[in-house]
Structure 1
Amino acid sequence: MVSLQETTVHSGGGASVDVSTDSFMSEVVEASRQQPVIVDFWAPWCGPCKQLMPILEKLVNETAGKVKLAKVNIDENQAIAAQLRVQSVPTVYVFQDGQPVDGFVGAKPESELRDMVQQLAAHAGGGESVDSYLEQAEAAFAEKDYGAAIGAFQAVLHLEENNEKAVAGLLRCLIGLNDLENAKEMLDNLPDTLASSDAVQDVAKRLEFALKASEQAGELSVLQQAVVSDPENMQKRYDLAIAQFGSGASEDAISTLLEMIRKNRGWNDDAARLQLLEIFAALGATAPEVKEGRKQLSSLLFS
């Protein structure tokens, strides 16, 4: 079962930095006066370190910049390791306001690490409001930075457990990542009060379309050839657009449907335009391809 506050995403980037003895003061001590800093002491030969670090990187990335991760290789930075009495690795410290305030030695389950990181994020920056986190999440989603968006939506749920906008946002992120299986599992396990909300119902329709599109994605090459062979066959073009969307080629799907409208606007009771609107809804109004697609659609309809 997918938990609302355990939705995860693997994403590049994030607030992590390699730290040396020379940079420790600025990157950790001083930086911790602005945001919590998790310091991971590790070594290249340490097996548990290789398991722990990717988890910390992922969890910190999900906080949308609220928490920083500093990584210290003890083989190359023995002085700082000795100063902080690091006797084995992995050793993790949490710095806040210039001081170590928490820590542990050895590996930890991801669930415990998640609780630790999310508690740090929830209290970072003096405790931001639900509206502020939602604004950050939507901005990240618009940039397709789904890791940051998930982190911000989760921060909302720590403040308001049943916030329907945050729940719908998590579902939109999973759809954006094409993680449709987890999205469906999450939706199926929502309490009725959340599942029946307008925000979640809207995303449920998008998920239904995405699942349908994913089923046709495997026929993409066949449909492409069919359209080349019979370019006037509107049904083949229509099926191709759905397959393109299901395979992640949303811009191609939009272009295919726009070309259908250009060729035969009224085909099948305006099916191409209606399908195009469904794709716009699934991608979200702020997506660049949606903005451009709407502009082209208006030009076609009102020219």
Structure 2
Amino acid sequence: MVDILGGGNAGVSATDLIKDVTEETFMQDVVDASMDVPVIVDFWAPWCGPCKTLGPMLEAAVTKAKGTVKMVKVNVDENQRLTAALAQQGLPLQSLPTVVAFYQGRPLDLFQGAQPQSEIDAFLKRIAEAAGSTADGGLSEALETAEQMLEDGAAEDAAQVFAAIIGEDDKNPAAYGGLARCHIALGDLDQAEAVLNGAPAEISAAPELEAAHAQIALSRQAENAGPVAELRATVEAAPENHQARFDLAQALHAAGETEAAVAELLELFRRDREWNEGAAKTQLFTIFDALKPNDPVVLNGRRKLSSLIFA
């Protein structure tokens, strides 16, 4: 992925970089496309004066970036259901223009209102750098090594590499997230939280840290999860028992049955999306955040959730 982004692509046409999207194409042109390259979404309306100024400036900056980012435009007047659904998921779309950068299926950063060209250029540069599109003196290779160690079960060794990377780059969100996940794997949730709490404020909302926070939350839930068989029997006997279904989802996730847990939460959301202040959707987002953005469970789960929201 870094190779694709690195240095841009001078051969990319403007039509490939900038396009209008609708509710029907948002998943493909934003969520799916952002798995490879950051996608800047310009939420605008024909009646919005600042939008008419910002739009061309943003397009110019994206074109100049030569493929390190892409841009889509959403006319909120023509896509009211899409806008409402995204606002329901937490995007602040009450005022226009709002520009949101998506990367690997999730919002990465945003700004609102008209901005000078210099600020727009800086925003795009920051997004491209966050996506790993610039040279980093070999830290990416070290991160890959540490990730492989962690995947192979060598959490202590991986923790040493992640810590060394932080020593070289104390604002590297992937290293902080990785170090926290090492402590999660070692069963030390308090130390994992301490690592995240010690990260610089400017990266505290980075996806890598949010993923680690989500994994900690799920690990703490797992400590109190009930028996799957008993909870499943309760749900089968009383399908409208929302608390039992929610508890079943937590127990399934604790047992490593993530896909089944997502299915139960989607069913709960379908039956009553407002139950317990939207607990089903909140838990789904926690699970999605804890997994890799391109995990099939995440991709399928997000699609099904979006279908239920739009239904």
- TM class by shorter chain equals 0.3 to 0.5
State the TM-score, normalized to the length of structure 1.
Answer: 0.46
State the TM-score, normalized to the length of structure 2.
Answer: 0.45
Higher Cα Rg: structure 1 or 2?
Answer: 1
